[in-house]
Structure 1
Amino acid sequence: MLTHRIANIGLFLLLAVALLVHNLWLTLPWWVFLLLLQPYVAALVWGACNIGSNFYIPVICAADTKEKVIAITFDDGPLLKHTPEILDILQREQAPAAFFCIGNRIGGNEPLLRRIDAEGHVIGNHSFSHHFWFDMFGSAKMLAELKQMDDTVEVVTGKRPRLFRPPYGVTNPNLARAIRKGAYTPVGWNIRSLDTVVKDKDQLLERIRQGIKPGAVLLLHDSMEITVQALPSLIQHLKKEGYRIERIDKLLNIPAYA
């Protein structure tokens, strides 16, 4: 498995060989060294943008099981516009879920967060601000964001989340350090619904259906109207196919709270 450490070692060895050749046998043009950097840079970008790559840090994206069981997760809430509707659907269908919440959206929505907890769903950490430049933050600032989110949830529910999902699903060395220092469990997904992009409910459902398999973790957003529209049909389809919907902490056998 390609990791950041292995990529660094590979780059070092390639450059060492190139320098040896350059100094002992053949003068190499400068562009040869730039050419050697290209696969390394490509690996860094690939690792950052693919949450399941485990390039910078191991991220749990699914359960290793043949049992027909699946976890449903929602990012970017809590929001008064759609989160209550989603909770109503989940309650009606008796389906547990995980909500990876943004800390600065909790203020004014404390009753909604308490409802998520009271109805048996998991509250996860999705950072405090979900800032556009979050991935550019230093590790100390990232960790401060995560802890601020924990503090906010604890004040409202008395619980401190341990499950963390990176904003935008992007990882990097700074975030890896923050996750380790804060003793978080990073959680990803292996079904990306693209409900923030897809505009047609049937297309959204078909995309999700194609990815359904035992142990899957589904990424949705409780900020989208199309998700509200598609959720009842999705749950009914899962049940029809013999799937059981589990809380993510139970599916992955990891503690949700400190």
Structure 2
Amino acid sequence: MKHNIFTFLFAATLVVLGFVFWQSEFLYYILAAVIVAYVALTVYGVFNIEANYFLSSIHKGKGSSVTLTFDDGPDPEQTPRILAALKEQEVKATFFVIGKKAEQHPELIRQMVDEGHIVANHSYSHHYLIGFFSRKRLRADLERCNAVIEQITGKVPHYFRPPFGVTNPRYADVLQDMGMLSIGWSLRSLDTQAKNKYALIERILVKIKKKDIILLHDDRAVTADAIDDIVAHCEQKKIAIETLDWVTKTSPYVS
């Protein structure tokens, strides 16, 4: 991964600079600047899943279609509205569900699968400090979410999306050991910040393009309000909406 490459380059740069400028009065300033740059790059990699800095994630589809993905559900109020809108529009999507919420609302998970949607792993806890979990604790969290989904649907998810889009070397190791695929996005809707459906629709419609993996959340009323308009715009632009497995040519579940 890029992290390993940049870490090697960083170490090599420090050695070379130390050798070349070891007698210079500016040595410490030069080394400090390199260290700051490395730290800044690492922080950027942690909070930007699109950078593929620590692990390789899928951010775009293949072909000319787009796909809708929903995080942070299931929600007892908004998820049914979104499912109803998708069913009316005959559109399939992927739901990255939180395990503890799936336990509370198994009927919504079953409905997702029955209606042709993909159910994927978004961690069990969605803890705000999950990025600091040890490898052991992180794996246990992801495995618990998989177990909940399997108990409800009989299927073991192949797809995983890191909470908050945060990545680090521990995610890379755990996902590799579990044989799971990390899924990012190419179009972030920012529906968690949208004040109304018009602001959300405008952002998506201006930016949407073929191959996009669109990030939405099924615990937001504004998102449920916007589904029909998003689908209508895609139809107008002759952009097909397909499932994540279709646009990425991968399997949604562990066989």
Pairwise TM-score range, normalised by the shorter structure: over 0.9
1:21·1:27 contact (CA, 8 Å) conserved in 2? no
User: What TM-score does the superposition give when structure 1 sets the normalisation length?
Assistant: 0.95
Residues in 2 aligned to 1:9 and 1:210: alpha-carbon distance in whole angstroms: 40
Q: Which residue of the other structure, out of 122, 129, 140, is the alignment partner of 1:144?
A: 140
Gaps of 5+ in 1: none
User: What is the one-letter code of the residue matched to 1:211?
Assistant: K
Partners of 1:256 and 1:242 in 2: CA distance: 26
C-alpha deviation, 1:31, in angstroms: 3.6
In structure 1, the partner of 2:164 is 168
| Alpha-carbon separation, structure 1, partners of 2:117 and 2:70 | 11
> Partner of 2:104: helix, strand, or coil?
coil
Give the secondary-structure state (helix, strand or coil) at the position aligned to 2:24: coil
CA contact (8 A) 2:71 2:96 kept: yes
Question: Identity across aligned pairs (percent)?
Answer: 33
Question: Counterparts in 2 of 1:32-181, with a 5 A limit?
Answer: 32-65=30-63, 67=64, 69-181=65-177
CA distance in 2, matches of 1:102, 1:141: 16
Looking at structure 1, the residues matched to 89 and 27 of structure 2 have their Cα atoms a distance apart, in angstroms, of: 66
Per the normalisation by structure 2, the TM-score is 0.96
Deviations 1:54-84 (A, max 9, x none): 111110010243x2x1100100001111101
Q: Deviations over 1:199-255 (max 9, x none)?
A: 121111111012211111100000001001111111111111111110101110111
Give the secondary structure class of the aligned counterpart of 1:107: helix
Q: Which residue of 1 aligns with 2:15?
A: 16
Structure 2 spans left out of the alignment, 5+ residues: none
Task: Determine if contact 2:62/2:249 at 8 Å carries over to the other structure.
Answer: no
Amino acid of the residue matched to residue 234 of structure 1?
Answer: I
Residue type matched to 2:159 in 1? L
Q: Which moved more, 1:190-199 or 1:106-115?
A: 106-115
Aligned residue pair count? 254
Q: How big is the alpha-carbon RMSD for the aligned residues of Structure 1 and Structure 2?
A: 1.3
1:23-43 C-alpha deviation (Å, 9 max, x unpaired): 4x4355534322210111111
1:18 to partner: Cα distance: 2.1
Counterpart residue type for residue 231 of structure 1: I
- Once residues 22 and 31 of structure 1 are traced to their aligned partners in structure 2, the CA distance between those partners, rounded to angstroms, is 11
Deviation at 1:145, TM superposition (A): 0.7
Say whether the 8 Å CA contact 1:89–1:232 is kept in structure 2. yes
**Equivalent runs, 1:244-255 vs 2, <5 Å:** 244-255=240-251
> Separation in 1 of the partners of 2:151 and 2:62?
35
| 1:257 matched residue in structure 2 | 253
